[in-house]
Amino acid sequence: MARTADILVVGGGVIGCAIAYELAKAGLAVTLVERGTPGCEASSAGAGMLAPQAESSAPSPRLALGLASKALYADLALELRERTGLDIEYETGGNLHCFLDEGDEAVGRAACAWQREAGLKAELLSRADALGLEPDISAEIRGALFFPEDHWVNNPRLVTALAGAAAQEGVRFVTGEVAAFLRAGDRITGGQVGEDRIRAAVVVLAAGAWSGQLAATAGLRLPVGPVRGQIVCLEGIPRRHRHLLHVGDHYLVPRVNGEILIGASVEWAGFAKQVTAEYVRSALDAAIRLAPALARLPVKATWAGFRPWAPDELPVIGPWPGLEGLVVATGHFRNGILWAPITARLIRELLVDHAPSLDLTPFRPDRFAK
Q: Do 105 and 171 contact (CB within 8 A), yes or no?
A: no
Residues 79 and 159 in one domain: yes
Residues 325 and 238 in one domain: no
Residue 88 lies in a domain: no
The alpha carbon of 314 is separated from its chain's Cα centroid by a whole number of angstroms, namely 12
- Long-range contact list for 70-77, CB < 8 A, 24+ apart? 70/149, 70/151, 70/338, 72/341, 72/342, 72/345, 73/151, 73/153, 73/341, 76/341, 77/153
| pLDDT score of 207 | 98
Q: What is the DSSP letter of 143?
A: E
pLDDT cut 90: percent of the chain above it: 96
- Long-range contact list for 103-112, CB < 8 A, 24+ apart? 104/142, 104/248, 105/142, 105/143, 108/143, 108/144, 108/145, 109/145, 111/57, 111/145, 112/145
| pLDDT score of 238 | 86
| pLDDT score of 1 | 63
pLDDT over threshold 90, residue 90: yes
Residues 284 and 174 in one domain: no
Q: How many CA atoms lie within 13 A of 48 on its CB side?
A: 26
| pLDDT score of 369 | 77
Residues 24 and 74 in one domain: yes
Task: Calculate the average pLDDT of the chain.
Answer: 96
Q: Smallest Cα–Cα separation from 91: which of 30, 47, 153?
A: 153
Residues 218 and 364 in one domain: yes
Residues 185 and 250 in one domain: no
pLDDT tens digits along 250-263 = 999 999 999 999 99
pLDDT band at 175 (very low <50, low <70, confident <90, very high): very high
Give the residue numbers spanning the domain of 49.
2-83+155-224+312-369
DSSP-based three-state secondary structure for 92: coil
Gap between the Cα atoms of 233 and 367, Å rounded: 38
Q: Do 189 and 200 contact (CB within 8 A), yes or no?
A: yes
| pLDDT score of 370 | 58
Residue 101 lies in a domain: yes
Residues 325 and 305 in one domain: no
| pLDDT score of 333 | 97
Q: What is the mean pLDDT of residues 161-175?
A: 98
Q: What is the mean pLDDT of residues 34-55?
A: 95
One-letter amino acid at 178 equals: V
| pLDDT score of 182 | 95
| pLDDT score of 277 | 98
pLDDT tens digits along 293-352 = 999 999 999 999 999 999 999 999 999 999 999 999 999 999 999 999 999 999 999 999
Residues 124 and 212 in one domain: no
Residues 114 and 201 in one domain: no
pLDDT tens digits along 124-166 = 999 999 999 999 999 999 999 999 999 999 999 999 999 999 9
Q: What total of structural domains would you count in the chain? A: 2
CATH label of the domain that carries residue 62: 3.50.50.60
Residue 89 lies in a domain: no
Residue 90 lies in a domain: no
| Sequence-separated (6 or more) residues with CB below 8 Å from residue 139 | 127, 131
| pLDDT score of 162 | 98
Question: Of 309, 337, 356, which closes a domain?
Answer: 309
Residues 29 and 110 in one domain: no
Residues 220 and 230 in one domain: no
Q: What is the mean pLDDT of residues 19-30?
A: 98
| pLDDT score of 3 | 87
Residues 234 and 359 in one domain: no
Q: What is the DSSP letter of 91?
A: B
CATH label of the domain that carries residue 104: 3.30.9.10
Q: What is the mean pLDDT of residues 207-230?
A: 96
pLDDT tens digits along 49-83 = 999 999 999 999 999 999 999 999 999 999 999 99
